[in-house]
Amino acid sequence: MIVILSGITGAGKSYLKKHIINKLNFKNIVIVTTRAKRKGEVDGVDKHFVSDEEFEKLKMSGTISVTFEFLGHKYGYYTKDLVSSQNGVTELHYNTIDEFKKITKDVVSIYIKPNVDIAKKQLKLRRLPPKVESFRLKEIGEQLKEFESNKSIQEKFDYIISNDYTAESINNAVELIKNIDERRYVRT
């Protein structure tokens, strides 16, 4: 099973993913990107950082799939990670969920509904370049409004959970996924 965590910038996708990995022993499905590494990020842990040329070679060979562009950078997933039988977790924008599900059959999609003030605070902690931060702050409101007003986007998700960066939020997410995983084995 692969758990997809989705939500606006600052919703806590990485935050919850880290706890899911640690508490449930899920594999971190790391995205491949042409984006420059941010301070504190570790290649192969946070993301696989590659050049544009390397990305295109990986894409053409089929080594990566579910590719998309965001803010001028390319992103994709190693195909082997998407077809693995090991439980995994990743972050994904809702625009690419349908393509993801074409490759990965056992998917649980979770939308993380944040406290908007906390999401903005979390975004500011990233210390992005001012122009990028301004864009991303504006994007928070737009994406949340789009999600709340668009039923077809909401229907892409199996579950909607809240996150306010507390132990309760972590426990709720972990217990939800644990229960889903346990139910998979009861049915067989």
| Domain CATH number, residue 2 | 3.40.50.300
Edge-to-edge strand order for the sheet containing 48-49? 48-49, 31-33, 73-78, 64-70
What is the torsional sign of CA 143, 50, 96, 45? negative
Q: Is residue 73 part of a domain?
A: yes
pLDDT for residue 185 is more than 70: no
- In whole angstroms, what is the distance from residue 81 CA to residue 95 CA? 20
- Expressed as residue numbers, the domain containing 123 is 1-26+87-183
For residues 43 and 93, state if they share a domain: no
Provide the pLDDT for residue 84: 87
Taking the whole predicted model, whether its pTM rises above 0.85 is answered as no
- In whole angstroms, what is the distance from residue 37 CA to residue 33 CA? 9
Percent of the chain with pLDDT over 90: 50
pLDDT in tens, 56-98: 999 999 999 999 988 889 999 999 999 988 999 999 888 888 8
